Amino acid sequence: MKKILKILLILTGIYFFLLIYTIFSSMTRRKPGGLSSIRLEKYKKARTWFERIEKEEITLLSNDKKILYSDYITSKNSTNKGTLVLVHGYHSIPLINFSTMLEYYYNLGFNILAVNQRSHAKSEGYLITFGVKEKEDLLLWIDHLVSKGDDNIIVYGVSMGCATSLLAAEIGYPKEVKAIIADCGYTSASEQMKYIIEKKKKMPSFPFLGPLKLICKYILGFDMDEADVNKNINKIKIPVMFIHGSNDKYVPTCMSKENYMKFKGKKELYITEGTGHALSNIEHEAEYKKRTYHFIRSSLDI
């Protein structure tokens, strides 16, 4: 009996270690990959446009001394309408998450700041903190824009970038930021990690989530509970447009609905029928452009 118990304990320990390691490895830098054919097609088109357009590479130093990179594209339209700050998602880049939006909003007369989040693309860092440190980085980018005279700023985030945008707003944007487009974000990093463990890894989140959060806090240096969008969402004082695909298998649609229901400010909810994760602006491109532009116009009064 003791031998069997010992074997079970060893197997449980190995299993626990492998699961924690698998989840931990998902928090580290990785190149984007595995694009679907339609996403790849849109990405290639956006990349062609992006490579030929005139732009300025901007660097900032984060609060923890990491060099962060973004690209700033100045509108050539005589009637400049404002600036869009594009905040991409987990293991992605702006050209993937905003492939259909970059040229469209540039042509409409908006400046574009395409942010490379920490631990992505050229920006330094190894760990992804699901909005905990990324929200502080975003506030630095916003302060930079304000210091150079940008006004009528719209923050537009997808997936983890959506959560980052909302978390930063809960701390407080300057008055120059007028609204947020929040596409397929989660309620909290903890709930998202629980969902991944249970639905993707097909394992119970207990007892694995608790130790994982302790490792993040005391070894990796960030508290996952600080990435809780839903908890403080009513600290946001500007309009928010919540968007989500109804068939999202990565960040469940109910999370945007929950954020929308709890938020008491000016808001809109747009659910795209049958759409997977971060694909709404591709699979429903025309309607998506129409609705987001209408929201931006109403927020900027243009």
Six token digits for residue 109: 């007369």
Q: What is the pLDDT of residue 258?
A: 98
DSSP tag of 169:
H
Distances in whole angstroms, Cα of residue 69 to Cα of each of 31, 78, 101: 16, 27, 20
**What DSSP line would sit under 247-266, residue for residue?**
T-SSS-HHHHHHHHHH--SS
With a cut of 70, list the residues of the chain below it in pLDDT. Answer: 1-2, 11-13, 15-16, 18-25, 200-206
Q: What is the pLDDT of residue 18?
A: 65
Domains detected in the chain: 36-189+223-300 (3.40.50.1820)
Q: What are phi and psi of 84, to 5 degrees?
A: -100, 130
Task: Identify the CA nearest to 296 among candidates 235, 243, 234.
Answer: 243
For 208-266, the pLDDT digits (tens) are 778 778 888 887 889 999 999 999 999 999 999 999 999 999 999 999 999 999 999 99
Pairwise CA distance, residues 268 & 243, whole Å: 8
Q: What is the pLDDT of residue 216?
A: 83
Q: What is the pLDDT of residue 290?
A: 98
Q: What is the pLDDT of residue 301?
A: 83
Q: What is the pLDDT of residue 12?
A: 67
For 158-175, the pLDDT digits (tens) are 999 999 999 999 999 999
Pairwise CA distance, residues 259 & 256, whole Å: 5
Pairwise CA distance, residues 250 & 248, whole Å: 6
Q: What are phi and psi of 242, to 5 degrees?
A: -90, 130
